[in-house]
Amino acid sequence: MSKGTFELISSHGDHEQVVYCHNKEVGLKAIIAIHNTTLGPALGGTRMWNYRSEEEALIDVLRLSKGMTYKASAAGLNLGGGKAVIIGDPKTQKTEGLFRAFGRFVNSLNGRYITAEDVGTTVREMEYIFMETAWVTGIPKAFGGSGDPSPYTAHGVLMGIKATVKEKFGSDSLKGVRIAVQGLGNVGFHLVEYLAKEQALITVADIDPEKVKTVTARFGCAAVSADDIAYIDCDVFAPCAMGAVINDHSIQKIKAKAVCGGANNQLAEARHGDMLRELGILYARTMSRMPAA
Ligand SMILES: NC(=O)c1ccc[n+]([C@@H]2O[C@H](COP(=O)([O-])OP(=O)(O)OC[C@H]3O[C@@H](n4cnc5c(N)ncnc54)[C@H](O)[C@@H]3O)[C@@H](O)[C@H]2O)c1
């Protein structure tokens, strides 16, 4: 028998609050999860994704929000962990009405949850949310916001890759270092841009062929299929797409000497981190902070 909603919630951590957001008129189906607010209001982005089921969306938001609690804490921020997911296709279903309706749900939490960009959302959607609530970050610079946070995230990943390469190979130069980048969205694109400047040997993949075409043309890097990128022979595998890419199915096939990327929740379970260590693959989790305004 499949697990009930409350059972699923309690089996993924001690979440404080899980909010289902529904608006039939605009087609909004979203879940906000607040994992922990001990250190401050729960901060975490809104992901829009074509989830195969509501259960998959719930599990994703529970895992992501829990991860944000630890990320904020490890970075020394007075923030808690939260996250939101919107069920839908970010390529075809993004509307002002949908994000404004979502913004009203964020507003109803009175600052317990602060949202931002994540997979499938951009500064434009944050602008719509900002029309309904002040509890959103990553809004356009014209409104006094930070703008797109992903270049800073990618820079944090670059620094993480440099530290990882130094630990593994003794020098933080990325010249000639073979790096496989999975996902060419906001973070992956900027990461490739930084890596190209460092003269790394870059191989990329994305499920969206247009993004692969743009990036390979612009930065002259190699490309492989999205099914293969995790398994190519390289020095660093940089996951910059979805979570749980390091799992029972993939782990034995990874040939990279280190894993360091921007994706949240790269390990399907904590034990996969131990397994990487046993395989001699250095695993680094990166974090980034926006520069002070
Ligand atoms: N945007 C940020 O500033 C930020 C901050 C911290 C963490 N992150 C994390 O970084 C990751 C990427 O976020 P983003 O903002 O770049 O999202 P995005 O939506 O801009 O990009 C994600 C990309 O991954 C691709 N993708 C999805 N599944 C894939 C697969 N199986 N193989 C290859 N490509 C695949 C998508 O087509 C898309 O191009 C996410 O895990 C996100 O939670 C983002």
Burial environment of residue 214 by CB neighbours within 10 A (0 to 12, 13 to 18, 19 or more): middle
Q: Report angle CA 85, 89, 94 to the nearest 5 degrees.
A: 85
Domain membership flag for residue 60: yes
Contact 181, 230 (CB under 8 A): no
Confidence check: pLDDT of 59 > 90: yes
CA separation for the pair 131, 128 (Å, rounded): 5
> What is the percentage of the chain residues whose pLDDT exceeds 90?
95
pLDDT mean across residues, the chain: 95
Shared domain check, 187 and 116: no
Mean pLDDT value across residues 32-58: 98
Tell me the whole-structure pTM to 2 decimals: 0.94
In a domain, residue 70? The reply is yes
d(CA 70, CA 260): 17
What mean pLDDT is predicted for residues 132-151?
95
Percent of the chain with pLDDT over 70: 97
Q: Could you tell me if residue 177 is inside a domain?
A: yes
Same domain, 102 and 220: no
Rounded to 5°, the CA angle 85-104-50 comes to 20
Q: Is the pLDDT of residue 33 over 60?
A: yes
Closest residue by CA, ligand 1 atom 25:
183
The answer to whether position 292 is within a domain reads: no
Q: Is the pLDDT of residue 1 over 80?
A: no
Q: What is the pLDDT of residue 286?
A: 67
Q: Which atom of ligand 1 is nearest to the CA of 184?
A: 39
At residue 293, the pLDDT reads 36
The yes-or-no verdict on residue 146 having pLDDT over 70 is yes
Residues 194 and 85 in one domain: no
pLDDT bracket for residue 3 (50, 70, 90): confident
Judging by DSSP bridges, how do beta strands 17-23 and 28-36 pair with one another? antiparallel
Residue labelled with tokens 């507003």 = 107
Do 29 and 135 sit in the same domain of this protein?
A: yes
Q: Which residue's CA lies nearest to atom 27 of ligand 1? A: 241
| pLDDT tens-place string over residues 243-259 | 999 999 999 999 999 99
Same domain, 242 and 135: no
The CATH number that applies at residue 208 is 3.40.50.720
Domains contained in the chain, number: 2
Out of 178-192, 193-207, 274-288, which region has the weakest mean confidence (pLDDT)? 274-288
Same domain flag for 221 and 135: no
Does ligand 1 lie within 6 Å of residue 261's CB atom? no
Q: Indicate if 133 and 182 belong to the same structural domain.
A: no
pLDDT at 87 over 60: yes
- Ligand 1 centroid to residue 190 C-alpha, Å: 11
Q: 292 pLDDT band (50/70/90 cuts)?
A: very low
Q: What is the pLDDT of residue 45?
A: 97
Give a yes or no: residue 192 inside a domain. yes
- CA 199, 204, 209, 211 dihedral sign is negative
- Could you tell me the pLDDT band of residue 289, with boundaries at 50, 70 and 90? low
Pair (62, 46) in one structural domain = yes
* Same-domain check for residues 188 and 106: no
* Beta pairing, strands 222-223 & 236-239: unpaired
The answer to whether position 58 is within a domain reads yes
- CA dist 104 and 102 (Å) reads 5
Q: Which of 105, 106, 143, 107 is nearest to 124 (CA)?
A: 143
> Looking at ligand 1, which atom is closest to the CA of residue 265?
41
Q: What average pLDDT does range 36-62 have in this prediction?
A: 98
* Residue 291 reports pLDDT greater than 50: no
- For ligand 1, whether the C-beta of 182 sits within 6 Å is yes
Residues 160 and 272 in one domain: yes
Boundary (domain end) residue, out of 90, 114, 143 = 143
Per DSSP bridges, beta strands 46-49 and 42-43 are: unpaired
**Which one has a higher pLDDT value, 54 or 292?**
54
Span of 98-107, 230-239, 264-273 with lowest mean pLDDT? 264-273
Domain range spanning residue 240? 150-285
Pocket test for ligand 1, best of 227, 231, 240, 250 (most atoms within 8 A of CB): 240
Cβ–ligand 1 distance for 153 under 6 Å, the answer yes
Q: Identify whether residues 167 and 268 lie together within a single domain.
A: yes
Evaluate whether 220 touches 199 at the Cβ level (below 8 Å): no
What pLDDT does 177 receive?
98
For residue 104, report the distance from its CA to the centre of ligand 1, in Å: 25
Protein residue with its CA nearest to atom 5 in ligand 1: 153
Ligand 1, atom 39, lies closest to the CA of: 185
User: Which of 125, 143, 161 is the last residue before a domain boundary?
Assistant: 143
Q: CATH code at 89?
A: 3.40.50.10860
Ligand 1 mean position, distance from CA 1 (Å): 33
Is 23 part of any domain?
A: yes
* Same domain? 126 vs 205: no
Average pLDDT score over residue span 183-210: 98
Dist CA 138 CA 213 (whole Å): 27
Residue nearest to atom 21 of ligand 1 (CA): 185
Evaluate: CB of 184 within 6 angstroms of ligand 1: yes
Instruction: State residue 287's pLDDT score.
Output: 62
pLDDT tens digits along 201-231: 999 999 999 999 999 999 999 999 999 999 9
Cβ 239 under 6 angstroms from ligand 1: no
| Positions marked catalytic | 83
Residue 216: DSSP 8-state: H
Domain boundary among 113, 143, 173: 143
Nearest protein CA to atom 43 of ligand 1, as residue: 264
Q: Is the CB of 67 under 6 A from ligand 1?
A: no
- Nearest Cα neighbor of 31 from 84, 81, 80 is 84
**Tokens read off for 79:** 């923030």
Does residue 210 belong to any structural domain of this protein? yes
* Pocket lining: 31 vs ligand 1, CB cutoff 6 Å: no
